Amino acid sequence: MTSSGTSFRFTKGKPRFLNNRHQIISRHALPWLFAAYVLALIPHYAQIPFWLMIFAIGNLVWAALIYLGKTDHPNIYLKSGYAILLSGLFIFDFYHKYNVDSAVAFLVLTISLKLIEVKYRKDCYLFVFIIIYLISTNFIFSQGVGITIYTLLVMLIALGAVLTLESGGLSTPIKEKLRSLTKIAVITLPLMLVLFVFFPRMTPLWSIPLTTGEATTGISNVLSPGDIANLSQSSDVAFRVTFVGAIPPPAKRYWRGLILDKFDGRTWSSSKKSSPVMPSRIDTGTLFSHNKPGTYQILLEPTQHKWGFSLAGAVSDSSNIRVGSTGLVRFKTSIIQPTRYQIRQQGGIPSGLALATKKYLQLPVNNSNPKTRKYIQKLLLEQLSPTAIIAYLMNNFRTQPFYYTLSPPKTGSNFVDDFLFKTRSGFCSHYAGSLAYMLRLAGIASRVVVGYQGGEVNESDQYLIVHQYDAHAWVEAWLPGKGWFRLDPTAMVAPSRIEKGLESAVAGEKSFLSGRFFAAARYNNIPLIHWLRLKVDALNFKWQKWVVGYDSENQSEFLSSWMGVVTPQKMALIMTLSGAFAMIIAAWLFRRFEPKTRLSPEIRYYQRFCRQFEKKGLSRAMGQSENDFLKQIHDKVKVPALIQAADSFTQTYLKIRYSANFSNADTAHQEKYLMMLRLLKKQYVITKYQLLTYNIK
């Protein structure tokens, strides 16, 4: 190990601690740093701007050249000039954009600059710390099992760099370091689990910038024709549902999310901003032990929005949500983490209308869609009852040549006209949007509902997976005496969409996940892939439920289900006990990892030699010398052949054992040593066979 650069605080007469912060680090640490750097950047490739990625790769090449000795460390002027240039670019790019993306980009900028500068111990540690913080941001963007294992491994590799600084000399092989790392990681696991379960979860200390504006997934609060068709190309999971009791049939799985009541001739949107929702404290919720009949639990993937989903007739059954007057689920904050909530099924769509009649009859002020208006006016002239009009219009979708397609032809500014009378092919948003418009023209209060429909049942684990491609839009209409009720024009056009899901509805045009070559759901027709996908999803579901979704609520529920009322004293006791338990496991694991002291082969032969004699009643006393034991054999044994065998064996043994040449497996004498061992083995076998036929009295 190099000692150059080691500096000490000089005080005569007393040994001082090593102060080697400015020690130049060993070359051997650098490959670890490079590996950690590359692996830390990979999950962020989409988040950081292109120019930064180019510089990040460029800096790696630069650092590699320094490592290989092709160039020197940059001097202070070059270094600061370069840093100023990159910081300038960064400020230019991210000016006034404070979100997680810019924070990640900043961290990437910092480590890529630090990489070309890593020279001393202190740099190495700083680098490792920044890397670890950077990889922790992986979890803000995704929370799967895979990314978790990946991130923890990258952290271990980063720590491998500082382990390299502190372990062994140059000769320590990489295998040895990996072994040390594994050992430390395995010993740490029980401790980590204890902390994870018992460490008290707190509410956020201050508000934080949201991830990003554009990274929202799932449905949005505006619906233009063709909007949901984009979602149909995504096989991501929107949410998963577990029911107490039977899973309802597909035709009843309408997951309401948003009500759109404002139409401008082309786009449906929400008339009011979603008001801040106070969490209801009616029910403490029982998320942990979910067994109340008539309830279901939803684990929602992050949407970056405040809305949740439920079947019609929902009552809040957990404290993190509120069900509004329109029967929609709302959270108090945007969902940036997978979130669990519980719903009690009761009744149907809430039928409060009186105050809002005008809202649900609103029509665009401009004179768009003349054909449609004329069409409805003609219908109204026939003096049909509202029920009959609804029936007529719905029937119209079935009887007329309408097509259900994921790639509808373009429509002009009068979208409803074009769709109803010209193209006649579209997606659920086309059908729902135009039907609600026609109903309003006919004086029937109506609104578009956006959410999901259907879902895939995971048979083995009995839960429902709702994917993004299950996104759907339908219509709710209101009639006096009947209240709100659901109308789904898509069901008229493509009944298989409702009954069997999107995949079978678009089987004819083969457009299901056509753009997603790697989506496993695309290969549902291959049984093995289908089975495997559901298994992986079940694992992910459990992971989301028990690990990712383990929040303060779950924690207090889990703890109280375990030890009754949670008091600080009990908590302290439990933490101490489980900490001690983790330490005992750690101590046991230490022993497991301890290198076994293997006796050298000649000693093992000698022990076997002694055991053979012991079987015949002649045992070697503790600490008795080899020659002494041989003498004992001479005295007791009267067979010359056996004596001779024991003699030669002992002689060979002593020669190997106490000759300086063979100490510590001297490599120079390896050959001779092995030869002697073979001889010893032969002599042992001879002695053994001599003993077989002989009994010592």
Measured from the CB atom, is 154 or 229 closer to another protein? 154
Considering only CA atoms, which of 131, 182, 471 is closest in space to residue 301? Answer: 471
Query: What's the gap between Cα 283 and its chain centre?
Result: 30
| Closest approach of another protein to the CB of residue 672, in Å | 21
Q: What is the DSSP string of 438-497?
A: HHHHTT--EEEEEEEE--EEETTTTEEEEEGGGEEEEEEEEETTTEEEEE-HHHHH-HHH
Chain positions 14 to 53 lying near another protein, rule: CB under 8 A, are 14-18, 21
Residue 578: beta bridge partners?
none
Of the listed pieces 151-159, 498-506, 638-646, 676-684, which binds another protein according to CB under 8 A? 151-159
| Closest approach of another protein to the CB of residue 456, in Å | 26
Measured from the CB atom, is 526 or 577 closer to another protein? 577
Chain positions 46 to 105 lying near another protein, rule: CB under 8 A, are none
Measured from the CB atom, is 180 or 652 closer to another protein? 180
- Residue bearing tokens 């709702």: 466
Tokens of 552: 């303060």
Active site residue 101: no
- Cα separation of 501 and 519, whole Å? 17
Q: Which of 87, 99, 148, 612 binds another protein (CB under 8 A)?
A: 148
Q: Which of 165, 329, 559, 645 binds another protein (CB under 8 A)?
A: 165
Residues 548 and 340 sit within 8 Å (Cβ to Cβ): no
Measured from the CB atom, is 163 or 231 closer to another protein? 163
Measured from the CB atom, is 297 or 345 closer to another protein? 297
Residues 496 and 464 sit within 8 Å (Cβ to Cβ): no
- Cα separation of 588 and 584, whole Å? 6
Chain positions 107 to 126 lying near another protein, rule: CB under 8 A, are 121, 125-126
Q: Which of 35, 64, 113, 132 binds another protein (CB under 8 A)?
A: 132
Chain positions 452 to 491 lying near another protein, rule: CB under 8 A, are none
How many other C-beta atoms lie within 10 A of the C-beta of residue 131?
Answer: 26
| Closest approach of another protein to the CB of residue 11, in Å | 5
Tell me if 562 contacts another protein by CB under 8 A: no
Measured from the CB atom, is 304 or 648 closer to another protein? 304
Chain positions 567 to 586 lying near another protein, rule: CB under 8 A, are 586
**Element (DSSP H or E) covering residue 82:** helix 76-94
Contacts with 46 (C-beta within 8 Å, 6 or more apart), sequence order: none
Residues 235 and 522 sit within 8 Å (Cβ to Cβ): yes
Tell me if 556 contacts another protein by CB under 8 A: no
Q: Which of 102, 110, 112, 151 binds another protein (CB under 8 A)?
A: 151
| Closest approach of another protein to the CB of residue 525, in Å | 34
Active site residue 28: no
- Residue bearing tokens 């093992």: 604
Chain positions 664 to 683 lying near another protein, rule: CB under 8 A, are 664
Chain positions 587 to 646 lying near another protein, rule: CB under 8 A, are 587, 590, 594-597
How many other C-beta atoms lie within 10 A of the C-beta of residue 460?
Answer: 10
Q: Which of 261, 305, 472, 537 is catalytic?
A: 472
Which SS3 state, helix, strand or coil, does residue 260 take?
Answer: strand
Longest pairwise C-alpha distance within the chain: 131
Active site residue 472: yes
For 206, counting Cβ atoms within 10 Å of its Cβ (0-12 exposed, 13-18 middle, 19+ buried), the class is exposed
Considering only CA atoms, which of 139, 120, 228 is closest in space to residue 497? Answer: 228
Q: Which of 69, 75, 95, 169 binds another protein (CB under 8 A)?
A: 169
Tokens of 167: 């372990």
Handedness of CA 77, 83, 86, 91 (dihedral sign): negative
Chain positions 182 to 221 lying near another protein, rule: CB under 8 A, are 184-185, 187-189, 191-192, 195-196, 199, 201-206, 208
Measured from the CB atom, is 127 or 469 closer to another protein? 127
Using the CB atoms, write b or e for 540-576: b if 16+ within 10 Å: bbebbbeebbbbebbbebbbeeeeeebeeeeeeebbe
Of the listed pieces 130-138, 279-287, 414-422, 510-518, which binds another protein according to CB under 8 A? 130-138
Query: What's the full length of the chain, in residues?
Result: 697
Using the CB atoms, write b or e for 310-328: b if 16+ within 10 Å: bbbbbbbbbbbbbbbebbb
| Closest approach of another protein to the CB of residue 571, in Å | 17
| Closest approach of another protein to the CB of residue 440, in Å | 41
| Closest approach of another protein to the CB of residue 210, in Å | 10
Q: Residues 464, 467, 470, CA angle at the centre, nearest 5°?
A: 100
Q: Which of 140, 379, 406, 465 binds another protein (CB under 8 A)?
A: 140
Binding mask 291-330 for another protein (x = CB under 8 A): ----------------------------------------
Name the pairing type of β-strands 262-263 and 321-323: unpaired
Measured from the CB atom, is 132 or 361 closer to another protein? 132
Q: Which of 59, 110, 143, 683 binds another protein (CB under 8 A)?
A: 143
Handedness of CA 330, 332, 336, 339 (dihedral sign): negative
Of the listed pieces 140-148, 524-532, 557-565, 601-609, which binds another protein according to CB under 8 A? 140-148
Chain positions 508 to 547 lying near another protein, rule: CB under 8 A, are 547
| Closest approach of another protein to the CB of residue 213, in Å | 17
| Closest approach of another protein to the CB of residue 339, in Å | 9
| Closest approach of another protein to the CB of residue 309, in Å | 20
Residues 116 and 71 sit within 8 Å (Cβ to Cβ): no
Residue count, binding to another protein (CB under 8 A): 72
For the chain, the first-to-last Cα distance in angstroms comes to 62
- Residue bearing tokens 């609060």: 221
Q: Which of 336, 479, 571, 641 binds another protein (CB under 8 A)?
A: 336
Q: In 86-233, at which residue ranges do the beta strands (DSSP E only) sit?
A: 222-223
Q: Which of 101, 124, 418, 428 is catalytic?
A: 428
| Closest approach of another protein to the CB of residue 663, in Å | 10
Contacts with 269 (C-beta within 8 Å, 6 or more apart), sequence order: 221, 222, 223, 260, 262
| Closest approach of another protein to the CB of residue 671, in Å | 22
Q: Which of 67, 106, 120, 139 binds another protein (CB under 8 A)?
A: 139
Of the listed pieces 71-79, 166-174, 367-375, 448-456, which binds another protein according to CB under 8 A? 166-174
Mind telling me the catalytic residues?
428, 472, 488
